[in-house]
A and B are shown apart, each in its own frame.
Chain A
Amino acid sequence: MDYLYHLGVLFCIYVILAQGFNLVFGIAGLFNLAHVATYAIGAYTTALLAVELEVGFFQCIIASSLMAGLLALIIGGISLRLATDYFAIGSLAFSAVVSALLINWRSLTRGVLGIPGIPRPELLGIDFNQLSNFLWLSAIITLLALSSFWLICNSSFARSLKALAQSEHAAQTLGRDVARYRTWAFFISSLYAGLAGALFSYYLNYVDPSSFSLAEMVLVLTIVVVGRPGSFLGVCLSTFVLVVLLPEGLRFVPLEASVLGPLRQFLNALLLLVLIFINRARLFPTQRAV
């Protein structure tokens, strides 16, 4: 039973993370490779606040989201002005800086050892060390996050972002300030990533840099592409398939764990490739001039 709860919590974390990326990548069309880095910032913020300063649950969650959002804003402000190619490189560099800091800033992050002993919260007399209770808590938070996300998806803000993604010039002439809209998209998506990071910390009781590798970024990218970029329900469904069903299926493959991990990574990437191949004419339509 515990294993089902475990999958449930994982689904909650990844669906928030993936929907955040869905906003910035699927709707705004920005190839933001720093999404997992902001997720890491969220996770470490909670870990440090909860362990070192014994800050409460809700404060931690809010602080994590804001911290991720603010850092993303700083970088976003710089790199959003750049063209697609440069933005992709800039965001990749940002994520690399974050992981280098996580590994090397030992006095703060304990490096590769990670931060253990993150206490699960106790609210209203409910002990969330019990997994079923923690699942309920995650589910409620996820529900709130998803409903707010759903509202964003169906707002005029999302429509403007979509218009920007398809034709910057056209949307500009319609009076949309490109940089401002994209910065907001970047900020909001990072709030979600930070929130997912905070939940991750609380759930695992432990964070270390290896959880925030580029492979994780590929997984998030795969989730969004499989679910169809920009589609709210699609991304929820594909999170379920890729985070719950696929690893579940792989459990029955008689292979060692050291092979299973890379195998899962390989299958994710293969799936990503096949899907963008099938949808290559429809994804990211841009006007081309000869």
Chain B
Amino acid sequence: MGSEKVNGAIGQTSKDKELLVLSNVSLSISGLEILKDISLVVGEGETVGIIGPNGSGKTTLFNCLSGFHLASKGSLSFRGENITSLKPSDRARRGIGRVFQSPGIFREMTVLENMVTAIEGRYPLFRTFVPWANIHSSIKGEAMSLLREVTLESKALHKAASLSGGQLRLLEIVRALGFGAELLLLDEPTAGVSPKMKEQVSTLIERLRSMGKTIIAIEHDIEFIQLFCERIVVLDSGRVVMDGSPSEIRKSSQLQEIYFGGAREPRV
């Protein structure tokens, strides 16, 4: 099936400044091609939702962006710099933050320590190594003010393992901010989150947008995703099959076909 070009050419963006550019990225893992020739341009400050059936390569795409898998073909650039072969840590240092599907919180640490680990990572080691270094008071201050934004400051000294699913999400998002993420990759930010907390998560995402952060979010809940996404990319079997505004995507008949069957090639 050919891809339905809803919004002009695939990859075109409404914003003027390009932040992330994927050109013809393919990825194979042990002989299996999981991502196929993906081209995508994400502008600065844009909020993009990624949807697609299970196994369509959404999380693999994120792993490819954060560097856990290196693209087998094609190239990636971030803020005009070629990052195709950079390590995950170097990509993170350039501003690509990640929130994992199953929370990547360090549960044996306190909430505050989680924040401190992220914030102090921005500084050279010799400035942060000893606990009595001057910088620690400002790091702690920054950590607390970020925690306050998500009303977790009362939990600062608790083990992160004691947080609820929603609180873990909030913490992981502000932790990524603490490290200085400009682009946030959110992998199903509302999975395992109670309805009440879901609201808080979406408020936080709204705040991130107003701060000018760029967001790419994987989400199953299409109603939820269109609340804050101005653009939706549909993946199927490792390909970008649609790319456009939520209303355009919803109108398309192809989406029905992808999710509810019809004659189609088997998924990977």
A residues near B (Cβ < 8 Å) are 281, 285, 290
Bound Cα distance A281, B68 (Å): 17
Contact (Cβ within 8 A) A281 B63: no
Contact (Cβ within 8 A) B63 A285: no
Chain A proximity mask over B16-37: 1 for CB below 8 Å, otherwise 0:
0000000000000010000000
Contact (Cβ within 8 A) A290 B30: no
**What are 5 sample pairs from A and B whose C-beta atoms fall under 8 A apart?**
A281-B30, A285-B30, A290-B59, A290-B63, A290-B68
Summarize A's interface: helix, strand, loop or mixed.
loop
Bound Cα distance A285, B63 (Å): 20
Bound Cα distance A285, B32 (Å): 13
In the bound complex, residues from chain B placing their C-beta under 8 Å from that of A285 are 30
Number of B residues near A (Cβ < 8 Å) is 4
Bound Cα distance A187, B30 (Å): 33
CB distance from A124 to the nearest CB of B (A): 55
Bound Cα distance A290, B30 (Å): 15
Bound Cα distance A290, B58 (Å): 13
The listed residue with most A CB atoms (<10 A of its CB), out of B30, B59, B63, B68, is: B30
In the bound complex, residues from chain A placing their C-beta under 8 Å from that of B63 are 290
In the bound complex, residues from chain B placing their C-beta under 8 Å from that of A290 are 59, 63, 68
**How many A-B contacts at CB < 8 Å in the complex?**
5
Bound Cα distance A290, B66 (Å): 11
Return the 5 tightest CB-CB contacts between A and B, nearest first: A290-B68, A290-B63, A285-B30, A281-B30, A290-B59
Bound Cα distance A281, B31 (Å): 11
In the bound complex, residues from chain B placing their C-beta under 8 Å from that of A281 are 30
CB distance from A165 to the nearest CB of B (A): 15
Bound Cα distance A290, B63 (Å): 8
Q: Which B52-79 residues have a C-beta within 8 angstroms of A?
A: 59, 63, 68
Bound Cα distance A281, B63 (Å): 20
Bound Cα distance A31, B250 (Å): 52
Bound Cα distance A281, B30 (Å): 8
Chain A proximity mask over B171-189: 1 for CB below 8 Å, otherwise 0:
0000000000000000000
Bound Cα distance A27, B59 (Å): 32
Whose C-beta in chain B lies nearest to the C-beta of A282? B30
In the bound complex, residues from chain A placing their C-beta under 8 Å from that of B59 are 290
Whose C-beta in chain A lies nearest to the C-beta of B62? A290
CB distance from B230 to the nearest CB of A (A): 28
CB distance from A166 to the nearest CB of B (A): 11
In the bound complex, residues from chain A placing their C-beta under 8 Å from that of B30 are 281, 285
Bound Cα distance A227, B63 (Å): 36
Bound Cα distance A285, B29 (Å): 12
Bound Cα distance A290, B59 (Å): 9
Bound Cα distance A219, B109 (Å): 45
Bound Cα distance A285, B59 (Å): 21
Whose C-beta in chain A lies nearest to the C-beta of B29? A288
Whose C-beta in chain A lies nearest to the C-beta of B59? A290
Whose C-beta in chain B lies nearest to the C-beta of A288? B29
CB distance from B203 to the nearest CB of A (A): 28
Bound Cα distance A82, B63 (Å): 30
Bound Cα distance A285, B31 (Å): 12
Bound Cα distance A285, B68 (Å): 18
Whose C-beta in chain B lies nearest to the C-beta of A285? B30
CB distance from A206 to the nearest CB of B (A): 49
Bound Cα distance A290, B185 (Å): 14
CB distance from A210 to the nearest CB of B (A): 42
In the bound complex, residues from chain A placing their C-beta under 8 Å from that of B68 are 290
CB distance from B31 to the nearest CB of A (A): 10
CB distance from A272 to the nearest CB of B (A): 23
CB distance from A154 to the nearest CB of B (A): 26
Bound Cα distance A285, B30 (Å): 9
CB distance from B211 to the nearest CB of A (A): 27
CB distance from B72 to the nearest CB of A (A): 14
CB distance from A187 to the nearest CB of B (A): 32
CB distance from A195 to the nearest CB of B (A): 37
Whose C-beta in chain A lies nearest to the C-beta of B100? A290
Bound Cα distance A15, B63 (Å): 45
CB distance from B187 to the nearest CB of A (A): 10
Bound Cα distance A229, B59 (Å): 33
CB distance from A284 to the nearest CB of B (A): 12
CB distance from A7 to the nearest CB of B (A): 41
Bound Cα distance A123, B52 (Å): 73
CB distance from B59 to the nearest CB of A (A): 8
CB distance from A279 to the nearest CB of B (A): 13
Q: Which B172-218 residues have a C-beta within 8 angstroms of A?
A: none
Bound Cα distance A143, B204 (Å): 72
Bound Cα distance A290, B64 (Å): 11
CB distance from B188 to the nearest CB of A (A): 14
CB distance from B238 to the nearest CB of A (A): 16
CB distance from A290 to the nearest CB of B (A): 5
CB distance from B2 to the nearest CB of A (A): 31
CB distance from B109 to the nearest CB of A (A): 21
Whose C-beta in chain A lies nearest to the C-beta of B68? A290
